[in-house]
Amino acid sequence: MTPRDRLKPLPVAAVHIVLALLPGELHGYALMRKVEELSDGTVRLGPGTLYGTINRLVDDGLIEETTGRVARQDGERRRYYQLTSGGRAVALDELSRLQTLVRRVRSRLPKDATA
């Protein structure tokens, strides 16, 4: 899936996940923590939301599991995920969309409003 294939933005949880994966692969728990960190603690994904969203993103071809391709410590059961090339394009598209939204809202705020 490319950014052009999508007509509407990703759901909020999916946006947080793809943005958290922009720097590189993470396992599920680290991804949960990274979303919380990037949102200054305002977004906390529970396991059901996290893994349900991960499964949808995998099905849509935006992220892929890397566990089987990368050697891990003996006995490690964590599943690692990374953006696909299409997923990276979508994540950057979402980032640009959000930056544009914030810029437009700020430009329309009354002069005495703080943002």
pLDDT averaged over the chain? 89
Task: Answer whether residue 114 is part of any domain.
Answer: no
Helix (H) and strand (E) counts in the chain: 4, 3
Task: Say if residue 28's pLDDT is above 90.
Answer: yes
Count of domains for the chain: 1
Task: Say if residue 10's pLDDT is above 70.
Answer: yes
The pLDDT, as a whole number, for residue 67 is 74
Task: Answer whether residue 58 is part of any domain.
Answer: yes
For 37-88, write each residue's pLDDT tens digit. Answer: 999 999 999 999 999 999 999 999 999 999 766 555 656 678 999 999 999 9
> What range defines the domain where residue 27 resides?
3-108
pLDDT over 70 for what percent of the chain?
A: 84
Task: Answer whether residue 115 is part of any domain.
Answer: no
Task: Answer whether residue 31 is part of any domain.
Answer: yes
Q: What is the CATH number of the domain that holds 25?
A: 1.10.10.10
Instruction: Give the torsion sign (CA, 67, 60, 95, 36).
Output: negative
